[in-house]
Amino acid sequence: MKKIYLEILFSALFVALSTIFIYGRLIGFDVFWNSQFLWSVILSIGWVVVALGYYHQGWLVHTSRSADHVSVVLPTAVFIVQCILFIKGIYYGDWSLIIGAVMVNSGVVFSLYQIVRAKHIRQ
């Protein structure tokens, strides 16, 4: 059981240290920081991938008729975060946050519906 704690620690350290390293390398490049449209497109593509992941999870729950190993906590948290990003997108006029929140939450709602439905049917 101790191995899993080490794996979690190493994963967190890897992400934190890699982020610090890369940020340190990019901090001086203005062209990197000033390319807002490019980052919005990349972010939107990322949101499509996340939304597809939630649709896939919902589909798996639907076809297996089981949500035994699926929690509603993560998709609910993602739904709340996406609502916040939607509001932030409206405030800042950032279309990638607005569209991304709608896309991701559509997948999250589908997944949540399938999870709740499967758990309710089993009771």
CB 113 within 8 A of CB 61: no
Q: How many other CB atoms are found less than 10 A from the CB of residue 40?
A: 16
Domain boundaries, the chain: 1-34, 35-122
At residue 39, the pLDDT reads 87
Question: Domain 35-122 belongs to what architecture?
Answer: Up-down Bundle (1.20)
At residue 27, the pLDDT reads 85
pTM comes to 0.77
**The token pair that represents 18 in the structure block:** 């890699």
Mean pLDDT by 10 residues, the chain (123 residues): 87 92 87 84 92 93 89 93 95 93 95 91 71
CB 114 within 8 A of CB 58: yes
